[in-house]
Amino acid sequence: MNHLPDILKESVRFRALSLGFDACAFAEAAFMEPEARHLERWLNEGRHGTMGWMEGHFDLRTDPRLLVPGAKTVISVLLSYNQPDIRAEDGSATDRPRVSQYAQGEDYHRVMWDKLEALMAFIRETVGPVEGRGFTDSAPVMDKAWARRSGLGWQGKNGNLLDRDLGSFFFIGELIVDAAFSPDPPTTDHCGTCTRCIDACPTGAIIADQVVDATRCISYLTIELREAIPAEYHRMMGNWMYGCDICQDVCPWNRKAKAGTEPRLMARPELRAADAAFWAGLDEPTYREVFRGSAMKRTKLGGLKRNAEIVLRNLETP
């Protein structure tokens, strides 16, 4: 394959960073053979629970050339939402419900799409009539796998992508394009023998290295599960109202990870002020007002009230 001059590739990378992305790298668009086998085994074992959408479009999920005809390159980007001060404050707050850090700001899909669209426009202006599409947790794209292939990090034991400077508190996005940029080399694994994420998971959801049983994960239970949360997990949820950051909080690579700078991803004051009384009295008007433009609307009001009932009971009886 004849690649475009690297000066064009570096101009795209520089533009991505100037748009606020924290990292940008390139991989060749191709069938993901080892990842496909891993995904197939995970699905066959039922680890995805009620997330039936993960079974659909398997061929698209494992071959980006079927998503974007003629695709030659997958450009992956990272955008940090890390707020160390907020995480430290939340970590010491045992008397109120907690919300996963990623959901405390504006809906990340909007933020990422705005930047990806601007990056795509720059590529067309710089390279020429390039065809492509942007993705961020919004289509059958294996974002962590593509970011790993492009060298933006390695996959930790908890399944999350890890970077030595950014840790794991970041969003991943892709541009799949029909322009041929030279691929970046992958990086190496730096987890070593550490098992802190596995040891810390209260539900034992990390069943093997890089294998998470979603049906046991607090994030799945509080966000994706539409049914009643099994009673066996109620106490294990502790004060996690929406999502869970435990396996990331204990990761050594997140101790000194640099803070994110995107204002739209910073925690909303109204969520910072949400105490037990707020969640106990949550109603439709408050839900519409507080969660406008928030990723937390995915769970809907009924799901949040379900979670709140469990968490408030946990807080009353430590």
| Separation CA 199–CA 193 (nearest Å) | 12
Strand partners, 171: 79
The residues near 256 (Cβ < 8 Å, ≥ 6 apart) are none
Quote the pLDDT of residue 276: 93
The residues near 293 (Cβ < 8 Å, ≥ 6 apart) are 106, 107, 110
Backbone angles phi, psi at 132, to 5 degrees: 180, 175
| Sign of CA pseudo-dihedral 47, 52, 54, 60 | positive
Q: Which residue has the tokens 């030279």?
A: 182
Cβ-contact 145, 35 below 8 angstroms: yes
Quote the pLDDT of residue 144: 95
| Separation CA 77–CA 23 (nearest Å) | 5
Strand, coil or helix: 170:
strand
Which among 220, 250, 116, 119 is positioned nearest to 172, based on CA atoms? 116
| Separation CA 153–CA 170 (nearest Å) | 12
Quote the pLDDT of residue 30: 96
Backbone angles phi, psi at 161, to 5 degrees: -75, 140
| Separation CA 303–CA 185 (nearest Å) | 42
The residues near 130 (Cβ < 8 Å, ≥ 6 apart) are 120, 123, 124, 177, 178, 179
| Separation CA 27–CA 151 (nearest Å) | 8
Quote the pLDDT of residue 308: 96
DSSP 267: P
| Separation CA 106–CA 293 (nearest Å) | 6
Write the DSSP string, 39-79. Answer: HHHHHHTTTTTT-GGGTTTHHHHH-HHHHSTT--EEEEEEE
- In single-letter form, the type of residue at position 243 comes to G
Quote the pLDDT of residue 261: 96
Strand, coil or helix: 286:
helix
Strands 170-177 and 206-208: unpaired
| Separation CA 40–CA 54 (nearest Å) | 10
Quote the pLDDT of residue 108: 96
| Separation CA 59–CA 65 (nearest Å) | 10
- Counting every residue written for the chain, the total comes to 318
Quote the pLDDT of residue 43: 85
Q: What angle do CA 181, 148, 51 make, to 5 degrees?
A: 115
Quote the pLDDT of residue 318: 64
Q: Which positions are annotated as active-site residues?
A: 137
List the pLDDT tens digit at each of the 318 positions of the chain. 799 999 999 999 999 999 999 999 999 999 999 888 888 898 888 888 888 767 777 888 889 999 999 999 999 999 999 999 988 888 777 788 999 999 999 999 999 999 999 999 999 999 999 999 999 987 788 999 999 999 999 999 999 999 999 999 999 999 999 999 999 999 999 999 999 999 999 999 999 999 999 999 999 999 999 999 999 999 999 999 999 999 999 999 999 999 999 999 999 999 888 999 999 999 999 999 999 999 999 999 999 999 999 999 999 976
